[in-house]
Amino acid sequence: MAVTQKLIVPPLEGGDRLSRNEFERRYAASPHIKKAELIEGVVYMAAAVRAKSHGQPHGRIITWLGVYEAATSGVSVLDNTTVRLDENNEPQPDALLRIEIGGNSQVTDDDYIEGAPELVAEIAASSASYDLYDKKQAYQRNGVKEYLVWQVFEQKLDWFQLQNGKYILLQPDENAVIKSQVFPGLWLAINELLSGNMATVLTVLQEGLNSPEYAEFANKFSQR
């Protein structure tokens, strides 16, 4: 009588060097792991999520992007969703904003994002985080058009835009507001966000949603 051996899937551990397929196989076999990423072929495991250094900033970014989504047909905000960028990179960004029809990413049959979302936002503990190194390089190489990194320890937010294949740091205007070049009307009052003044953040966003450039952008989507 033949004996069938049970296939044992190796555990997923930080620092492993894996292909994307093997990463997904081990991740699927580890339901106790809530967040793991494959960045440049290396597995990164998330530490326990703290309230003020991650959960609260994350919530504020999602609130800001969610209001933009609510006003804009044809775009969607996703929270902590796995993104298949390439064979060596499968991040799980804190937040992303994508164009649903005619954008650079798709929802696969097995319910992942494949391709480069137009905008990605990450909450980093500090400027030493891999979010500003290997992950930034992976996003840049794969064509993520805008990349925000909130560095909580330094109380700093960097907003990069892809220009000629390289990330260029966007500068705030005279009112300390940064305006998305990909999503017209997506305006961010940097200092107000960092200080936790979400009422003003949303007021400034509404000003963006009332702008002529946003009206033109929204009209194009309605025609689609």
Using the CB atoms, write b or e for 165-180: b if 16+ within 10 Å: eebeebeeeeeebbbb
pLDDT at 176: 95
Q: How much is the pTM?
A: 0.91
- For residues 148, 91, 117 and 52, what is the CA-based torsion angle, rounded to 10 degrees? -40
| pLDDT tens track, the chain, 224 positions | 444 445 688 999 989 999 999 999 999 999 888 899 999 999 988 777 788 889 999 999 999 999 999 999 999 999 999 999 999 999 999 999 999 989 999 999 999 999 999 999 999 987 667 889 999 999 999 999 999 999 999 999 999 999 999 999 999 999 999 999 999 999 999 999 999 999 999 999 999 999 999 999 998 876 66
Residue ranges of domains in the chain = 49-223
pLDDT at 4: 46
pLDDT at 223: 66
Longest pairwise C-alpha distance within the chain = 79
pLDDT at 48: 72
Cβ-contact 61, 94 below 8 angstroms: yes
CATH code, residues 49-223: 3.90.1570.10
CA distances from 116 to 34, 90, 145 (A): 22, 11, 8
Dihedral sign (CA 42, 164, 94, 79): negative
